[in-house]
Structure 1
């Protein structure tokens, strides 16, 4: 067994190359994040389009809380080519309830009644509903890929998409959501911040990090044939820690409207200048000077605290997407005289300078 976060980047790289980057999200992480969005769910159609409904904890969360959240409809689709579909313990124990795992299907729920008459709505009621009402589960004609026409038709019906898409397809996945102007809460690789398409959305305040797990990572259930993992859980499933995983959403996230408290003042000898770009290096977000009017390079973890009312995101090192999209020559990697080149940096400007 492999432990700790040191292997998570290698894990993701190998996963991306093998297109085996589909992980089952733990219910605790889903509950911890989604509790902040409950007011957005009322009266809405929720779509989980990268989830086997019988195994996904996203389906479990929304189906079990269907009434409590006031959902209008819940749609989930399975993907026949998923390396993890059919490999987990089913959320349901009823023999014969799940369709053939090799054939993709969809579940559409518009109501979850109290079928066991215990005065509450829970997973038992969902089990009974799926067993009693055969019309809720129906086959898909294609493979269940989120890019297929029938899945896009379901997407058009949805108000909010909530899922953990394949990390290797993250750019394409987000692009589709943006094309169809959908609201979403999804899990992605923290390094997606450095993708051109994702950076532009963050810069323009169209997408933001979620409430939890940023720069901490999450534990996921991974396929049985994975060699690198963190531990085996009580159910005998392999669990991997992916430290570079976080939530992204284009819904309102209140922490991104909070102002970072700045307490330091600019002193020339404390903030080195880049030798090849007109900006200063700020090694920690907490060290951002309150009185500096120019451009500053800060760690990419800044995006988790980014409030567009307080700061302007100018560009990103070493990619310089803002500059290149203007047709200008891309600057070289930021350099500091006599020091090691800084790692990836978000270039920002303070909108609320305090003298």
Structure 2
């Protein structure tokens, strides 16, 4: 996966690139939950160089096990034409789970950018998109998927939920988070500058960089998002202070959400990794601006908060 150099993960269209490669275990751990979605589908990996991409590797190895109809991969190449790789199901090979299917490589006229006419045409023909898109272009990327009404499962940064292009879809339950989130290790090139933290070199000399707040975004339904979050705390005004400038209580840990409060509750953004739309309603997501009075009388501006309501018959609150 190729990504930009703003301490996140992505490719810079301006020229300089840092390359981060998704570990196949990260892909396997997430995609194992969605196997039933892929039967007879066309899968498009539109930000993946097959020479390096573990997304391509995963789908090529599991092509017949998943029952795919077609697999297509394209990627961005700076200052030169790119190419696409394609695997089409051969019915006489169905059932041969150990069979590694052959692919056809075809040159593209353009650079393979996911916004290019060639990539858009391939997108129109696809059923499901699975990839790690440029974080710097994440809002545009998701907007494109929505515009063409595509199913998708893509890697992103948790902070993207606050983007004005994405937040309405989160609140409307059109997009949600997948099963796995947190800090993940990515392979980086040999010339990658060593870091003091979140960096290591393994026994084979391979460099790795750990990135935080990584999650999966999808519109494929999951069983996890319909599991109730276990909450057992009781509301008390002494334990749950209200914001100075918003009629909501502050709950600094998701585990401390009171079970009996019916008003608006401010929780950390990590709540979205456990969000059940049958249990809670999302009122808003605030990047900043919520003010909370501290014990010494000073006012603290709170970091990103999700504002929610318990819709399961809570008692206290407004």
* Structure 1 position 256 matched with structure 2 position 225: yes
Q: Which runs of 4+ in 1 moved over 3 A?
A: 13-22, 112-115, 233-237
What does the per-residue CA deviation read over 1:137-173, in whole Å, with 9 as the maximum and x for residues that have no partner? 1100000000000100000000000001111111111
> Which of the numbers 154, 164, 178 marks the counterpart of 1:186?
154
Which whole-Å CA distance do the structure 1 matches of 2:133 and 2:260 have between them? 41
The number of residues matched between the two structures is: 302
Question: What's the offset of the Cα at 1:260?
Answer: 1.1
Counterpart in 2 of 1:39? 36
1:276 maps onto 2:230 in alignment? no
Equivalent position SS for 1:277: coil
TM-score (norm 1): 0.79
2:111 corresponding residue in structure 1 = 143
SS, match of residue 34 in structure 2 = helix
Q: Does 1:227 align with 2:193?
A: yes
- Structure 2 length-normalised TM: 0.87
Asked if the contact 1:113/1:121 (under 8 Å) is kept, the reply is no
Q: How do 1:126-141 and structure 2 match up within 5 A?
A: 126=101, 129-130=102-103, 136-141=104-109
In structure 1, C-alpha distance between the alignment counterparts of 2:122 and 2:203, rounded to whole Å: 36
User: Following TM superposition, by how much is the alpha carbon of 1:199 offset from its aligned partner in structure 2, in angstroms?
Assistant: 1.8
SS of 2:293 mapped into structure 1: coil
Tell me what 2:206 maps to: 237
More strand by share: 2
Equivalent-residue separation in structure 1 for 2:252 and 2:86 (angstroms): 49
Aligned to 1:73: 70
Contact map agreement 1:279 1:294 (CA 8 A) in 2: yes
Report the equivalent of 1:11.
7
Unaligned runs of 5+ in 1: 1-8, 83-101, 131-135, 320-331
Q: 5 Å matches for 1:47-196? A: 47-81=44-78, 103-111=81-89, 120-122=97-99, 125-126=100-101, 129-130=102-103, 136-196=104-164
Q: Which protein has greater RCO, CA pairs closer than 8 Å, 6+ apart?
A: 1
RMSD between aligned residues:
2.5
Distance 1:165 1:276, change over 3 A: same
Equivalent position SS for 1:62: helix
